Structure formats: structure tokens, C-alpha cells
Amino acid sequence: MLTFTRRRLAAVALVAATALLGTTGCGGGDDEAAADGPVTLTVDVFGQFGYADLYQEYMASHPGVKIVERGTGSNLDEYSPKLTQWLAAGKGAGDVVAIEEGLLVEYKANPQNFVNLLDHGAADLKGNFLDWKWNQGLTADGKQLIGLGTDVGGMAMCYRKDLFAKAGLPTDREAVSKLWPTWTDYVKVGEQFTAKKTGAAFLDAATNTFNTILLQTAGNTSGYSYYDTDNNLVVGSNPAVRQAYDTTMDIIDSGLSGKYGSWSEEWVSAFKQSKFATIACPAWMTGVIEGNAGPGAKGKWDIAQIPGDGGNWGGSFLAVPKQSKHQAEAIELAKFLTSAKGQIGAFKLKGPLPSSPQALADPAIVDSKNAYFSEAPVGKIFAEGAKNLKPVYMGPKNQAVRTEVENAVRTVELGKRSPQQGWTDAVSNAEKAAAK
């Protein structure tokens, strides 16, 4: 009887001990990083940064460093909440993280999450970046540098030569560029294209085109889009927004859009199935097109000038979160990847346009051609405009507001709202989002 009880107690104790071991066991693994052993640096990116070759080179010259990249090819919408959660939790973020310019404003509002790169000799690097790109990485008071610039989003228009030929339009990139000096001309060409019934739409989605026109118009006029430089929401009053909206309505009205929700599965399929002929093309988009359309479409795409004048969409920064356990090594790597040499390497692999004036002037960029896009001289097309890019200021809730306005455009595109209703929705929903 006594032994029975004892055995039971022993069993209870054993279960309890196992449970304890189980719960404490989890804590062990993390802090093992030996001071002098090999250091593993994690780099978090989205889309295509084109760093694969650079990692190899860096690891070869730094035998103690191993680099792991996460998130390649992922959508920015999937990436940014994850990064924010990691920062909020104080754990989980990579040692080097990529931040897109539209989201940078939100991270800049809470700079305590990031290493101040100015404390680590970054000030000497100022000359390696376009002025405005450098300034975007600084906090409002200019005392902390959150990120070093990677790329800028100089714009062009990518088009399908085969579909243009089918519609009886010129296919040569010089001639195509001459077709559309303005967006009004672009709509006219689109109407000609649509009249020929090739089975493809003229463009992919009105939302992408809207954003392109907005950033271009804003860059050329006020210098800001949804927020003015004092961070007042000006969706309803900024003429640039209204002008971009109206031009987009013309595009929708003429039935030019394939209505593929940008970045959706259908959008990706539409690339593969050659369902649209043109797409607004910031430099980084060339990598996306190549990935979506696949090797089968090689040589069918080409690149022409963007209608209107210039403009910048997107571009990113590399930052080092404070939670990184290998800050010094991570800063070193971020400096390497954002150096002129690093930017040239990335451009060669996946096409993001450098933000370094030295890189932009480098023959490796200026003379470069993109084999996938019918040997288009991408260096010339993008790099020439890049030095004169006019940045657009982005306010605190830029991403949330942009989402609302683009959604309003989308409802009109899908025929669920009239252009007038869409505009009312855009303004009121943007105000609601900004207040959240």
C-alpha cells in the first residue's frame, strides 16, 4: 500500500519535472552565439533585391560570416506586418532588414527600434547617395540615420512587342516612346490597341497606373501626395491627387484595363498568359516582370519612355534593428550592400536602380542592357532620369491612406462605383484611415 502511493507520487514528480524541463528547454538555444565562432547574419527582404552574388563575395572575403536571406519574392504586404511584429516583440527580426520608402515614415516615427547608423561612421558615406535618398533615411530632427539607401524607382513603360505588332502599332522602343509624350496620348494609343481586339487588355490594372501618375505629377508639382510637408492630410485638396485620379478615370472609361488586382494570383497568371500589353515600370518592376512572365516571354518585352515626365516609385533602405545580436557585423554588411559596388551588383542581377550617383555614372550601369527585355539599354533608360528624380514626400500614415485611395480606384475599375462616388469614398476613407 505504501509502495503503491510512493510510486504514484514518484510518477507525479516525474511528470512535473518533465513539464518543467520542457518549458525551460525552449529558452536555451538562443544565446549560444559564441563570441569568436562564425557569425550568422540574417537579411530580411521582400521582392527581388538581387543580393545573391554579393553575399557569396562578402562571405568569401569575411570567412567568419555566414549570410542567410529570408523573404525573397514575398509581397511587401506580407513582409511589412511581419517586420513590425518582430520590432514590437523585440525579437525575430533579421540583423539587416529592408524597408520600403513608403513604410519608412512609420518606422522613423519610432526610431528607438533601430541602430543609429550615424554613431557607426555612416556620416562619411553621405556622398555615396543621392541627396534626397540620404535625407529620407534621417529622422525628422536629423540626428538619427535609420537606413542606408538601396535603390530608387525611376520610371519607364514596359510593353509587349508581340502584342503591339498584332495590333498594328510600332514595336521599336524609340517609336513607341514617341507614341505617348503625355498620358492623354497613352490613352489614345490604348484605344487604338483595344479596337484591334487582340484578346489582351492594354494595361494590367488601373491602381498601379494611378500610383505611377500620382507620384509623377506630385514630384513635378507640389513635391508631396497624400500628406503635405507639415503632415496634414491633403487627399481632397492636393490638385496632384485629383489630376492623377481623373487621368486614371479616362483610362478606365476607355476600357483599357485588364482589371487584374495588382500582385494577386490573377495578375501573375495574366503575365504568363500575355493578357495585357503595357505596364508602368519602375526600375525594380523589370525583375518582377521577368519572374512573373517567365523564361517563355524572354525577348517579347521591351521598355519605352514613361508618358509624362519622369517620376519615382519606391526604392528601399537597409536598416539594422537594435535587437540584432551582431550589430557591428550587420552594419558592416549593410554598408557593403549599399555601396556603389553593391548597388551595381544588385542591378546586374535583378535590376533595382542604384541610388548612388557614383554607381549611376558607372559604365557598368550606363552601358548595361537587359537581355530579357530585348536587349533594352536599361542603363540609359533608367539611369539618365535617376539623377534628376524629384522625390515625393510621404506622411505618417501614407501606406494606409494610399490603400484606401487605390481601393476606391479599384471599385470604379470594377464598375462598382461611379468615378464621382469613387472620389468621395477615396477622400472620406482616407480621412478615416489617417485617424486610426
Partner 1 sequence: MAVQLDARPPVAPAPRHSRPVPGARLSRFDTKYSPYLYIAPFFLLFGVFGAYPLAYTFWVSLHDWDLLGAEHPFIGLDNYSQLLADPDFWHSVVNTLGIFVISTIPQLLAALWLANLLNRQLRARTTWRMAVLVPNVTSTAAVAIVFAVLFGRDFGMINWLLDHVGVSAIDWKANRFAAWTAISTMVDWRWTGYNALIFLAAMQAIPRDLYESASIDGAGRSRQFWSITVPLLKPTIIFAVIISTIGGLQLFTEPRMFNSGTNAIRGGPLRESQTVTMYMFENAFAPHYNFGYGSAIAWLLFALIAVVAAINVLLLRRLGGGAHKEVSR
Residues 384 and 374: their CA atoms lie apart, in Å, by: 19
Furthest C-alpha separation in the chain: 99
Considering beta carbons, is residue 8 or 126 the nearer one to partner 1? 8
Q: Which of 285, 270, 289 is nearest to 381 (CA)?
A: 285
At closest approach, how far in Å is the CB of 27 from partner 1?
A: 15
At closest approach, how far in Å is the CB of 15 from partner 1?
A: 8
Amino acid at site 403: T
Distance set, CA 137 to CA 20, 50, 81, 182 (Å): 46, 21, 20, 32
Which residues make beta-bridge pairs with 316?
A: 100
Considering beta carbons, is residue 355 or 399 the nearer one to partner 1? 399
Considering beta carbons, is residue 56 or 110 the nearer one to partner 1? 110
Considering beta carbons, is residue 111 or 391 the nearer one to partner 1? 111
At closest approach, how far in Å is the CB of 263 from partner 1?
A: 4
Considering beta carbons, is residue 277 or 303 the nearer one to partner 1? 277
At closest approach, how far in Å is the CB of 432 from partner 1?
A: 8
Order of all β-strands in the sheet with 316-319: 65-70, 39-44, 96-100, 316-319, 147-149
At closest approach, how far in Å is the CB of 407 from partner 1?
A: 5
Residues 184 and 191: their CA atoms lie apart, in Å, by: 11
At closest approach, how far in Å is the CB of 53 from partner 1?
A: 30
One-character DSSP codes across 162-182: HHHHHTT---SHHHHHHH-SS
DSSP state, 355? -
Considering beta carbons, is residue 8 or 298 the nearer one to partner 1? 8
At closest approach, how far in Å is the CB of 86 from partner 1?
A: 11
Considering beta carbons, is residue 220 or 411 the nearer one to partner 1? 411
* Helix (DSSP H) and strand (DSSP E) numbers for the chain: 20, 11
Which residues make beta-bridge pairs with 282?
A: 155
DSSP state, 154? B
Q: Which of 159, 156, 157 is nearest to 169 (CA)?
A: 159
At closest approach, how far in Å is the CB of 81 from partner 1?
A: 4
395 CA to centre of own chain: 17
Backbone φ and ψ of 413, nearest 5°? -60, -40
Distance set, CA 251 to CA 161, 220, 244 (Å): 21, 21, 11
Contact residues for 337 (Cβ-Cβ < 8 A; gap 6+): 51, 54, 96, 150, 318, 346
At closest approach, how far in Å is the CB of 110 from partner 1?
A: 4
Considering beta carbons, is residue 325 or 416 the nearer one to partner 1? 416
Considering beta carbons, is residue 8 or 66 the nearer one to partner 1? 8
- Give me the residues that bind partner 1 (CB under 8 A), please: 1-2, 5-6, 8-9, 12, 15-16, 19, 75, 77, 80-81, 84-85, 87-88, 106-107, 109-110, 112-113, 207, 260-267, 269-270, 273, 275, 397, 399-400, 403, 406-407, 410-411, 414, 416, 433, 436
